[in-house]
Amino acid sequence: MTEQKYAVSEYPDTVKVYARLNNLLKQPIRPVRRERMQVYLDYFDIQCARSKVLNNEARKFIPGGVQHNLAFNYPFPIAIEKADGAYLWDVDGNRYIDFLQAGGPTVLGSNYAPVRDRVIEMLQTCGPVIGLFHEYELKLAQLINRFMPSVEMFRMLGSGTEGVMAAIRGARAFTKKKKIIKVGGAYHGWSDSMVYGLHVPGTGRMEARGIPFGATVNTQEFFPNALGALRAKLIFNRLLGGTAAVIVEPIGPESGTRPVPFDFNRQVRELCDEFGALLIFDEVVTGFRLGMGGAQGYFGVKPDLTVFGKCITGGYPMAGGVGGRAEVILRFAAGIGGTGERAYIGGTLSANPLSCAAGYYALLEMERTNAPVLAGKAGDRLTSGLQAIIDKHGLPFVAFNQGSIVHLETSGVMLLDLHNPFKLARELKPRRHMMEEMGAAYMANGLITLAGSRMYTSMADTDAVIDEALNKFEGVLASVEDQ
Ligand SMILES: Cc1ncc(COP(=O)(O)O)c(C=O)c1O
């Protein structure tokens, strides 16, 4: 038997998944019963007293009292003191099973000692930053090229957002075209041109406060999986000077919350070839989480450019980069003086030795331990357990996964879109609030999820951890309102 190389043991049947999601969206919401929700909210006041004090103080100095978009702020954000493997501990000493995993970078589990030891070694010899070349830059670039041969050359940057900015700039410089097409609802970081059609497909500039029109005038979106609409945009753009690139999250918007049919990426590749646009894979989430070959290896589709983040440093700071065809990436040549051909990118701390060494050893460890596949197996166990709970209690909720990326839709808010603006206007708030409540209910039961609807599993999630989590999930899911 050949060894499993990718985290996805069975690709979700997207027709069935969408049928179940549409069914969920047709129904009234089923939040946690009010008296039960009060018990969960009381948990925060009683058990998280120090978090509350810290948060009240933080509100005076930090807007909203919290800095991370993925941090829960309902009823208030808890403060974390310790992270190890599958668990987090808050400042009041409460332990949680951690399915946020910092938003995805830690496939080995939190604070994995063999990588931490290498980072400490680097700190002791070189410190975190030098501003000159360090051998680990080369080692990391070579390693990425071994895992993803499409990445002929690589530039390390500070974040996924920066990687996307660079990819777009490089694509425009190379093709000499302007238009960038993204999928509605997809998240590609927060640069001016990408805060467009964010989270909710069809909403264009809805979130673009503070961003001038000119910054998004060359950004376009199409509804998820609507290849006909993509083709129409590509045809139309020919009249406007052409499309520089199509950028996709290869498993679908919001880390596969709206999953793509298996063949989607291949078809986008074909369209890009037909219209002379570059294909950018945003592998910030999938890069190495889906397997060492990334989504491009899993789907067998070769992008022109790949954006990295998260796993590229194994959870250590300054996680970002862009790689791909040498003739495009060569535009990013650094150093003093320009060639006139250069697409400008930079960053004082970009490609620092600490981030490069952390990434290099994290990726090697992931390969050695087969961490993406182990994390994927944990995701499978979690998903099938959740599905069993949903079936047992006759709930309309939907669980599915792409390996270690697990989706649990209870409110369906993530699936609303502008196809039905009245439904969106009527239901966005109550469905979003239900999702917030579910997140708080899980947390009061010792489970940390991403915004109450997504979970990242890691290699540290043994069967025992997953079974403990399922017990806790059952408590919450069994306490929702009857129809
Ligand atoms: C698919 C995708 N692209 C880009 C980004 C932005 O990366 P960063 O937060 O490192 O700027 C994210 C962040 O979650 C992401 O999920």
Record the pTM: 0.97
- Tell me the pLDDT tens digit for each residue of 417-462: 888 888 889 999 999 999 999 999 999 999 999 999 999 999 999 9
Instruction: Choose one of 70, 251, 284 to mutate for the ligand 1 pocket test, by most ligand atoms within 8 angstroms of C-beta.
Output: 284
CA-nearest residue, atom 9 of ligand 1? 160
CA of 19 to the centre of ligand 1 (A): 28
Dig out the tokens for 343 from the structure: 């697409």
96 is catalytic: no
CA of 189 to the centre of ligand 1 (A): 5
Give Rg (Cα) of the chain.
Answer: 22
- Tell me the pLDDT tens digit for each residue of 357-410: 999 999 999 999 999 999 999 999 999 999 999 999 999 999 999 999 999 999
The average confidence (pLDDT) of the chain is 95
CA-nearest residue, atom 4 of ligand 1? 188
Tell me which of 310, 361, 442, 461 is the catalytic residue.
310
The pLDDT-based confidence of 193 (bands split at 50, 70, 90) is: very high
Is residue 381 helix, strand or coil? helix
Q: How many CB atoms lie within 10 A of CB 371?
A: 28
The pLDDT-based confidence of 340 (bands split at 50, 70, 90) is: low
Residue 483, pLDDT score: 82
Region 140-152 average pLDDT: 98
- Tell me the pLDDT tens digit for each residue of 221-278: 999 999 999 999 999 999 999 999 999 999 999 999 999 999 999 999 999 999 999 9
Q: Indicate if the pLDDT at residue 1 is higher than 60.
A: no
Residue 393, pLDDT score: 96
CA of 188 to the centre of ligand 1 (A): 6
How far apart CA 156 and CA 253 sit, in angstroms, is 24
CA of 92 to the centre of ligand 1 (A): 30
Residue 339, pLDDT score: 60
CA of 137 to the centre of ligand 1 (A): 21
- Tell me the pLDDT tens digit for each residue of 163-187: 999 999 999 999 999 999 999 999 9
Per the model's pLDDT, the better-predicted residue between 317 and 71 turns out to be 317
Tell me which of 18, 96, 187, 361 is the catalytic residue.
187
Alpha-carbon torsion (106, 108, 112, 113), positive or negative: negative
CA-nearest residue, atom 7 of ligand 1? 160
Which atom belonging to ligand 1 lies closest to the Cα atom of 186?
A: 1
187 is catalytic: yes
11 is catalytic: no
The pLDDT-based confidence of 203 (bands split at 50, 70, 90) is: very high
The pLDDT-based confidence of 70 (bands split at 50, 70, 90) is: confident
Encode burial over 258-293: b for 16+ CB neighbours within 10 A, e otherwise.
bbbbeebbebbbebbeebebbbbbbbbbbbbbbbbb
Question: What are the distances in angstroms from CA 244 to CA 21, 177, 238, 277?
Answer: 34, 5, 11, 5
Residue 337, pLDDT score: 63
Residue 338, pLDDT score: 59
Q: Name the percent of the chain lying above pLDDT 70.
A: 99
Which atom belonging to ligand 1 lies closest to the Cα atom of 70?
A: 14
Identify which of 475, 482, 161, 97 has the alpha carbon closest to the alpha carbon of residue 308.
Answer: 161
The pLDDT-based confidence of 129 (bands split at 50, 70, 90) is: very high
Residues lining ligand 1, judged by CB closer than 6 Å?
103, 159-161, 164, 187-189, 249, 255, 282, 284-285, 309, 319-320
CA of 160 to the centre of ligand 1 (A): 5
Query: Pairing mode, if any, of strands 243-248 and 278-282?
Result: parallel
Instruction: Choose one of 106, 310, 311 to mutate for the ligand 1 pocket test, by most ligand atoms within 8 angstroms of C-beta.
Output: 310
Residue 206, pLDDT score: 95
Residue 371 CA, distance from chain mean position: 18
Region 52-69 average pLDDT: 92
Residue 424, pLDDT score: 86
CA of 309 to the centre of ligand 1 (A): 7
Which atom belonging to ligand 1 lies closest to the Cα atom of 309?
A: 10
Residue 71, pLDDT score: 75
Alpha-carbon torsion (442, 249, 11, 4), positive or negative: negative
Q: Indicate if the pLDDT at residue 415 is higher than 90.
A: no
Which atom belonging to ligand 1 lies closest to the Cα atom of 158?
A: 10
CA-nearest residue, atom 3 of ligand 1? 188
- Tell me the pLDDT tens digit for each residue of 3-56: 789 999 999 999 999 999 999 999 999 999 999 999 999 999 999 999 999 999
Phi-psi region of 169 (alpha: psi -120 to 50; beta: other; left: phi over 0): alpha
Instruction: Choose one of 187, 190, 198, 255 to mutate for the ligand 1 pocket test, by most ligand atoms within 8 angstroms of C-beta.
Output: 187
